[in-house]
Structure 1
Amino acid sequence: MAADDPLNVVALVSGGKDSFYSILHCLANGHRVIALANLHPPPPRVASTSTRATVRSGDEDGSRAEVDNAINDLAAIRISPSDITVAQHQHGSLLGLRADNNSQDDDEIDLNSFMYQTVGHQVIPLYAQATGLPLFRRAILGTAVDSGISYKHPDGHQEEDETESLVPLLHAVLKAHPEVNALCTGAILSTYQRTRVESVALRLGLIPLAFLWQFPDLPLSSAAATTSTFSTSTLQPADTDDAQLLRDMAAAGLVARIVKVASAGLGEEFLWENVASDTGISRIRRALRRFGGDGGRGAVLGEGGEFETLVVDGPPVLFKGRIVIRDDDKRVVREGGGSAWLNVREAQVEMKLGTDITSKTEDQNVRIPNLLDPKFKDALDLLHSKSLGYEHCTISLHEIGQQPSPLSLKLTNSISQDWYFVGRPGNIEAQTAQIVDEVRQQLHEYSLPTTAITNTIIVLRRMSDFPTVNRLYGALFREPNPPARVTISCGDLLTPQGADISILLTVQPRMKQGDRRGLHVQSRSYWAPANIGPYSQAITYPLLTIDEDKNRDNDVNSNLPLAVSIAGQIPLVPASMSLPSVPPDGDDNLRLQVTLALQHLWRVGAEMQVQWWSSAVAYFPRSPSTPHAKHCALLAASAWKAAHAVPSSASSDAEEGPDLWDRKYNPLYMTYGGGNDVGAAKPGLPDWEVLKDFDADDYSEGGLSQRALPFVFSAEVEELPRAAGVEWHAHLGFANVGFGDVRLYSSHGSDKDQRTAMHSVVVESPSGDVFVQTVAAYQDSDAAGSGIGVRGTQHMLRVVGQILQTSDRSQLGFIEVNPKLTYINSESFDLLGETESLQGKGAIIPCRSLWDSEARKLDMVVILESRWGRKADGS
């Protein structure tokens, strides 16, 4: 099945607004909704019995048998649209047109589940009749055993987590509807909820869909700005209106009533308010602001558990009838602590007649965000102009900050190591298995878990081998958030000749528990491409390690800068996971791909709070001609310049830090509370104020900001994943960096040797430690272009040695260290058959051509990294 083929979807519904609005987006994207699925509170006999006994071996005081009998009674049930009277099972009436509330306990069930909304569960069966879709239901069993932000599948020896209740429910759906191949959820900002649904979906072979993920931060479409049903006096700019999603729901025709409040700002007088209305939005915003601001990011949407909703009506493309609940059939249940909810005693479906049910999907007012943010739309426009590329200025060491003195620093035991593996002769399966075994052995030798790996670069001879490699490589990683990854194919240039794969791992051997955070979104959305498989969008870890022999202040430790490894970004349309198909013109399509992939890099970076990049490379597949390769390099350089021209206004929280939903609704993270950082806007990307001696006047349009950028270059390789036209690879991102703690240096290697340009970024921490990355771009005027012919391995090694020696003599106090990455232009260096000389010289990436930002051909690009600390005497 092609990536953009229509999917057959089962939609998880809780009764809340988000799940139903997500269904409307499934329909708007051309997918078919086959069934609804819901988890509800168990009957009192099960709810009052220890659920721990359900997964323990043996019989503990007879409780195992009792619970097993109850579970058998609670098998998933199917409610057809024609079942309008009652849905029966052994425990009596769930609900038809009237709820059976003979049991006082059952009358007031609200599990306060970390995962599922349960208020209003009595009304859920009526959605089958209201929508005309079959509804599958099952009881929630277990509790939140795994309270981590990212979910780890239980291994059978753990107590059952409530998340696993989804598995038998979806098994029932798949048995009745084997054509179902996707699962839809309404996750907006909560990593806790999204990762759990993704875990279950992928285990069952279902494609997870979360069209609302990060939706509040995505750009308004031009149509949405002109079709709002609300008065212009209440509208705010799209990038500041945190209630825009509620307005979108109202414009689409959803009616969502508040059925629970759990916030000091929202009292029980808000119960039954329609949140998808101008009046409801205004009331909620005013109430939250009376109690300490607006409650943080997502509070107006109820993402922090401030309120829960029940959808009673929607557009006719989904709702063939509306749910009617009389005032006399709603009873307020007060839980204390500011929490109150509505218990529904009776409800009915009022079917729509006539024109109400003739609406088509394409007639619905469901806002789909623009593919490009305004910033990257401007970048795309720039790529259509005749002026492409930009010049790297040569900056003296004192123009941007002062040179750190090597005399006051010492080379530290780096927190980072690079492990390089090359396949030995054999088929691709054997070579990959060999490398995986070697990785396991080396991890065992150093007593390290796989989570110590933060980044991977995989170089293949044939991109067609990628599925095989992915399967075997993926077996390494069983924990949530596997390392970020970059994959390219170098064709017959890969060395040695018998190797079909090489892998570079970046490993953090001194990283402590809790230091590592990841971003692994596996659902389709409008935000950025899903990473379905053994790689994350990004991994964050400490850039500089604390010397355990020194007594450093904890406040200093918490302010240390972070390194962010980001996966290679190709230009997939996030909602369909397919490459852009329009415009049809090849060059226009390439411009769009360059811009879209760079936007993905920016969105992932912004989500991880990246403030500055160290350097970046744009990989392009094999070009039909040298002029075309040069043109690609100019497109990449121009897009890079445009992305840095205006700081981003992104204001989302870090993915793996406890999000607002978790802080307010998940007891494990309530200790984070509502501190000053909740909902606080984060720095833009780029954050110019991290630069040493930053002066806003100097960084005006046309000034230094247009030139003093992270170094970027282009590499022509053989092929990219999915036959993409470009892949952006940022070598490193920096987060949690203080004002003025980044310095840039750009110069030639020496007065006598003008062939090597050195571009360095230096990051200092409050502890006095220093991180340095230098990109050495080498251009030999006597190389192949002059007719002398290609050079061999020994010449390449001499060049690398000269670069190391130059850096040692001049600018940043390097000693001889092996390069992290060496990009080689195969037109200048022939490395085939000379692999012995390359052992221990870091990862070699052979390219068909290399280009700087002015589309000048390069012979070599070397990436060097080192970390420095203050001397023991404190000098």
Structure 2
Amino acid sequence: MATDDPLNVVALVSGGKDSFYSILHCLANGHRVIALANLHPPPKSGSTSIRTTVRSEDEDGSRAEIGNTISNLAAIRISPSDHVVAQPQHGSLTGPRADHDSQDEDEIDLNSFMYQTVGHQVIPLYAQATGLPLFRQAILGTAVDSGTSYKDPDGHHEEEDETESLVPLLRAVLKAHPEVNALCSGAILSTYQRTRVESVALRLGLIPLAYLWQYPELPHSSASTTTSAFPTNTLQPAACTDDAQLLRDMAAAGLVARVVKVASAGLGEEFLWENVASDTGISRIRRALRRFGGDGGRGAVLGEGGEFETLVVDGPPTLFKGRIVVCDNDKRVVREGGGSAWLSIREAQVEAKPEAEMVSKTEGQGVRIPDLLDPKFENILGSLRSKFLGYEHGSISPHEIGQRPSFLSLKLTSSISQDWYHAGRTGDIEVQAAQIVDEVRQRLREYSLSPTAITNSIIVLRRMADFPIVNKLYGALFREPNPPARVTISCGDFLLPRDADITILLAVQPRMKQGDRRGLHVQSRSYWAPANIGPYSQAITYPLLPIDKDNSNDNDVNSNLPVAVSIAGQIPLVPASMSLTPMSPGDNDNIRLQITLALQHLWRVGAEMQVQWWSSAVAYFPRSTTTSYTKHRALLAASAWRAAHAMPSSASSDAEDGPDLWDQKYNPLYMTYGNSGDTCTAKPGLPDWEVLKDFDPDSYSEGGLSQRALPFVFSAEVEELPRSAGVEWHAHLGFANVGFGDVRLYSSHGSDKDKHTTMHSVVVESPSGDVFVQTIAAYQNSEAAHSGVGVRGTQHILRVVGQILQTSDRPQLGFIELNPKLTYVNSESFDLLGDAGSLLGKGAIIPCRSLWDSAAQKLDMVVILESRWGKRTHES
């Protein structure tokens, strides 16, 4: 199936606003919703069955009973034409009014971490209200696996965790509707819920859809509503939105979502049955939460912290053919204590909508689909299209900010990370990949390490067509949640060492303890960033520097240490469809949009992982037929990188019609939204310029920044990229949890004997006194071009780099480790067809057809080195 073909969707519904709004987005994206699916509370008091009676009306008007007692292990199907009646004490379906003075088993909320159960009595009416078949299954088990990310259970655990109740439910749907190939859920900010739905969906061969994932932090569209996934680009930033924008969008789409549970000190039972998808409801909830200091939390106004739960009783005619009506005397308040109260609904019915209403309200209603690019990256794309990109821009390179630090009192610490480099040797690609996987497994056993110790990988293939074979074998290494971040490129037939069809670099953290590692592994389609559909994560974090052994049990001390973030290579896929970007008017090759969109993906993943600064980055491009076009792409990438780091001008910050600096930092209206880059952002942005030592924003020109105070960026021409993409952005490392002024940048040139090497360094200090240094040595020697000096030339360059590192800069910058982490080599300058064994031990070799700096000047080699220094030597 093509990535942009319409999908046949089964939608999980709890009755809440998020699941139904997600259905509307499925429809807006051209997919077909085939059925609804719901999990309900099991019967109490040890009962093993639910008394459910479904009556259908025959053609002559008579009614016949077509169902009775059903085991709670089996799913039931309710058709839109079924008239549902049930015993209310079981709470499975609506029915005759019960005695309100008796508190039966129905008036117990499961308080499930995974599923909303309040209002479950109304769920069966959704079949009639929407015209879609509804499948229901009892929730079995409890939250056995309480981790944020969910590990697929072993067979003997399958029925213990409540997540696994989804399996028989969805199997029943697939049996009745084998055409279903996607599963829709309403996950917004909850990693706990999203990862569990993804786990079940992927095991059953379904594509997970979570269109609302990170939706509150996506920018408001330039138009009020749109049904196009690719709206017209605009250079004007979107208007500031607030944290309740999602509720306003739901109201604009016609949803009516009533509060059925409150569990916040600010929300009393007087909020029950309030319509949150309305201006009145939003205002009331916001005021109440602010009174108790609850409005500053991420997603609080949306109820993402459990502040309230909702029940949808009406929606647009595209989904709702009738509305659900509940009379006042059919609602009973149940008080659980501790400020928690909810409504037990005793009876409800579906009221068909008049035909006139169905027609009139269909016109003008729509679902807001966020723009493909947020305002910051719209502006970047506009600058790439409007400016003449000549060579006059000059090189982007960091320069010294503040005084050069002295590391004379520091000691070189043993590295907390290792780099394992493996190359295929003999046999076809399947044999070589299997051989490497076996080697990695054996090495893990030797070090007594779990595969979770691997945080990042770079896979270099001779042919991208071999990727599916490699992916399957490589993926078998990782059974735990959040596999390593990954970068994959193809270098062609003539660049890898002889007989090698694949090389793999693995970054391994052998000292990482449980809880040190955190991953972001979104496998659902959304508007946010591309889903990771293979055995890799968007990002993995781990300690950048050794944990302070003297304070190893002091969480407050170690929580202040900087964090390293490894991020997967980002290609320009449209997140909602997972297809490559569409052709844009006036941009025949589409490379500008691809560069911009892939860079936005890198920014959004980085912002979610709270990255404040990048160490360096490379933009990979596929093979070009002309040198001029290769240079053109290098200039575009450098210009986009520069623009992404641009600071808002002082003029725009002080504008009368926008938020001032105080607003951006302290006003809750502008503090809610994440690092989208527009002037409404108030969280520490990416980049966070305050982490730079002695950084003076006044030294930067209005409307931009000095081009030199940036992380080093370069371009690498390879053979091919995944999905035949036009670009792949790879940030070598992100830094998070960095303190004010703890990052320093330096640049220097080689000695008089070697004028062809420049050094670009980023230094990160921590409160513990440890220091991390990453250095890029960029070598440029026009005389070496086309010389074919072979492997000896590569070793010679490494010796030259070593000599530079041990010159006068060494006492100040502390470089001593000469084994590079990554070595990018221009194949036009160096012959790489020799014995692969002669290159092993020299770090990962990334063979490239050409290398280019930010001024489109050709490079012969780029070497990345890392070292760590501290006031004391850390023990293993």
TM-aligned CA deviation for residue 872 of structure 1: 6.2
Q: Partner of 1:6 in structure 2? A: 6
- CA distance in 1 between counterparts of 2:339 and 2:534 reads 42
Distance 2:713 2:91 in 1: 66
Question: Which amino acid in 2 is paired with 1:173?
Answer: V
Taking a change above 3 Å as real, the CA distance of residues 799 and 831 of structure 1, as seen in their structure-2 partners, is same
SS of the counterpart of 1:45? coil
Q: 1:848 to 1:450 in 2, by over 3 A?
A: same
Equivalent positions of 1:648-667 (< 5 A) are none
Matches within 5 A, 1:700-739: 700-701=701-702, 705-739=706-740
In structure 2, what is the equivalent of residue 115 of structure 1?
114
Matched AA of 1:351: A
| Alignment partner of 1:421 is 2:422 | yes
Q: Aligned in 2, Cα 1:99/1:699: closer, same or farther, shift over 3 Å?
A: farther
User: 1:149 corresponds to which residue?
Assistant: 148
After the TM superposition, which of the residue ranges 317-326 and 802-811 deviates more from structure 2? 802-811
- Distance in 2, Cα, partners of 1:533 & 1:827: 33
Q: 1:593-742 residue pairs with structure 2 within 5 A?
A: 593-646=594-647, 682-701=683-702, 705-742=706-743
Cα pair distance change 1:239/1:150, threshold 3 Å = farther
C-alpha contact (below 8 Å) 1:493/1:847 kept by paired residues: no
Aligned equivalents of 1:540 and 1:358: distance in 2? 52
Give the equivalent residue in structure 2 for 1:660: none
Contact kept in structure 1, 2:226 and 2:367, CA below 8 Å:
no
* CA apart distance, 1:534: 0.8
Q: How far does residue 647 in structure 1 lie from its aligned partner after superposition?
A: 6.8
Equivalent residues in 2 for 1:389-404, closer than 5 Å: 390-392=393-395, 399-404=400-405
Query: CA offset at residue 453 of structure 1?
Result: 0.3
CA distance in 2, matches of 1:872, 1:167: 51
More deviation in 353-362 or 78-87?
A: 353-362
1:805-820 → structure 2 map (5 Å cutoff): 805-811=803-809, 812-820=813-821
Q: Which residue is 2:132 aligned to?
A: 133
User: Per-residue CA shift, 1:636-678, capped at 9, x if unaligned?
Assistant: 00000010003799xxxxxxxxxxxxxxxxxxxxxxxxxxxxx
Could you tell me which residue of structure 1 aligns to residue 167 of structure 2?
167
Contact 2:15-2:312 within 8 A present in 1 as well: yes
Counterpart mapping for 1:563-578 below 5 A: 563-578=564-579
Where do 1:184-195 residues align within 5 Å? Answer: 184-195=184-195
Checking the alignment, whether the CA contact within 8 Å between 1:19 and 1:186 is kept in structure 2 is: yes
Residue 654 of structure 1 aligns with which residue?
Answer: none
Partner of residue 743, structure 1: 744
How far is 1:98 from its partner? 4.0
Instruction: Look up the match of 1:558.
Output: 559
List aligned pairs for 1:341-490, cutoff 5 A. Answer: 341-358=342-359, 364-388=365-389, 390-392=393-395, 399-490=400-491
Check 1:271–1:425 CA distance in 2 against 1; reply closer, same or farther (3 A cut). same
Q: 1:374 & 1:358 partners in 2: Cα distance?
A: 35
* Cα offset, 1:335, TM superposition: 0.7
- Alignment match, 2:791: 793
Give the structure-1-normalised TM-score.
0.89
Q: Which residue of 2 aligns with 1:764?
A: 765
Say if 2:83 is the partner of 1:80.
no
Query: How much has 1:408 moved relative to structure 2?
Result: 1.2
Q: CA deviation at 1:424?
A: 1.6
Take 1:632 and 1:325, find their aligned partners in 2: how far apart are those partners? 61
Displacement of 1:495 after TM fit?
2.4
> Is the 8 Å Cα contact of residues 101 and 345 (structure 1) preserved in structure 2?
no
Counterpart of 1:391 in structure 2: which amino acid?
Answer: G
Shift of residue 456 of structure 1?
0.4
Say if 1:22 and 1:210, in contact at 8 Å, map to a contact too: yes
Q: For 1:663-697, what per-residue CA distance to the aligned partner results, in whole angstroms no more than 9, with x for missing partners? A: xxxxxxxxxxxxxxxxx964210000100101121
- 1:527 counterpart residue number: 528
Secondary structure of 2:457's match? strand
Please state whether the residue corresponding to 1:836 is helix, strand or coil: helix
Q: Which moved more, 1:638-647 or 1:210-219?
A: 638-647
Q: CA deviation at 1:362?
A: 8.8
Normalised by the length of structure 2, the TM-score is: 0.89
Q: For 1:821 and 1:107, how far apart are their aligned partners in 2? A: 62
Maintained 8 Å contact 1:395/1:747: no
3-state secondary structure, aligned to 2:149 = coil
Paired amino acid for 2:426: P
Shift of 1:754: 1.7
What is the Cα deviation at residue 781 of structure 1? Answer: 2.2
The answer as to whether partners of 2:541 and 2:566 remain within 8 angstroms in 1 is yes
Distance 1:871 1:307, change over 3 A: closer
What is the rounded CA distance, in whole Å, between the counterparts of 1:468 and 1:871 in structure 2? 46
Tell me, what secondary structure is at the counterpart of 2:174? Answer: helix
Deviates more, 1:837-846 or 1:245-254: 837-846
Task: Give the alignment of 1:846-857 within 5 angstroms.
Answer: 846-857=847-858
* Unpaired stretches in structure 1, ≥5 consecutive residues: 50-69, 228-235, 650-679
Match of 2:592 in 1: 591
Cα distance between partner residues in 2 of 1:405 and 1:454: 31
Give SS of 1:86's match: strand
CA distance in 2, matches of 1:591, 1:298: 34
Q: CA deviation at 1:528?
A: 0.1
1:259-298 paired onto structure 2 within 5 Å: 259-298=260-299
TM superposition shift of 1:394:
6.8
Indicate the SS of the match to 1:866: strand
- CA–CA distance in 2 between the matches of 1:135 and 1:225? 29
2:458 and 2:488 in contact (8 A); partners too: yes
Q: Is the 8 A contact 2:257 2:276 kept in 1?
A: yes
- The code of the aligned residue for 1:726 comes to V
AA in 2 matched with 1:574: P
Q: Deviations over 1:64-115 (max 9, x none)?
A: xxxxxx99444100000011242699x9783355466798433303111110
**Structure 1 residues 71 and 761 mapped into 2: Cα distance closer, same or farther (>3 Å)?**
farther
Q: CA deviation at 1:406?
A: 3.7
Q: Which residue type is aligned with residue 6 of structure 2? A: P
What is the Cα deviation at residue 240 of structure 1? 4.8
Q: Distance in 2 between matches of 1:88 and 1:464?
A: 59
CA distance 1:190–1:572, change in 2 (3 Å): same
* Offset, 1:223: 1.2
Q: Give the letter for the 2:245 counterpart.
A: Q
Cα distance change of structure 1 residues 101 and 113 upon mapping to structure 2, 3 Å threshold: farther
C-alpha distance in 2, partners of 1:99/1:134?
25
Please state how far the C-alpha of 1:857 moved relative to its aligned partner: 0.6
Quote the residue 2:673 is aligned against.
none
**Partner of 2:775 in structure 1?**
774
Aligned residues: 810
* 1:373, distance to aligned residue in structure 2 (A): 0.8
The Cα offsets for residues 401-428 of structure 1, whole Å up to 9 and x where unpaired, read as: 3323242121111111100000121111
Say what the alpha-carbon RMSD is for the aligned residues: 2.5
CA shift at 1:496, angstroms? 2.0
> How far apart, in 2, do the equivalents of 1:572 and 1:101 lie?
56
SS of the aligned residue for 2:415 comes to: coil
1: CA distance between counterparts of 2:782 and 2:238?
53
Structure 2 CA distance for aligned equivalents of residues 793 and 165 of structure 1? 58
Cα 1:239/1:501, change in 2 over 3 Å: farther
Structure 1 equivalent of residue 864 of structure 2:
863
Judge which range, 576-585 or 456-465, deviates more.
Answer: 576-585
User: Is the 2:744–2:764 Cα contact (8 Å) retained in structure 1?
Assistant: yes
Structure 1: distance between partners of 2:873 and 2:5: 62
- Given that 2:238 and 2:375 are in contact with CA atoms closer than 8 Å, whether structure 1 keeps it comes out as no
Which amino acid in 2 is paired with 1:223? A
- Cα shift at 1:351: 0.5
Farther-moved stretch of structure 1 (70-79 vs 132-141): 70-79
Q: Does 1:319 align with 2:317?
A: no
Cα distance between partner residues in 2 of 1:98 and 1:465: 63
Q: Which residue of 2 aligns with 1:491?
A: 492
* Residue identity matched to 2:331: K
- The whole-number CA distance in structure 1 between the counterparts of 2:79 and 2:581 is 39
Structure 1 residue 800: deviation in Å? Answer: 1.2
Equivalent residues in 2 for 1:228-307, closer than 5 Å: 239-307=240-308
Given that 1:571 and 1:593 are in contact with CA atoms closer than 8 Å, whether structure 2 keeps it comes out as yes
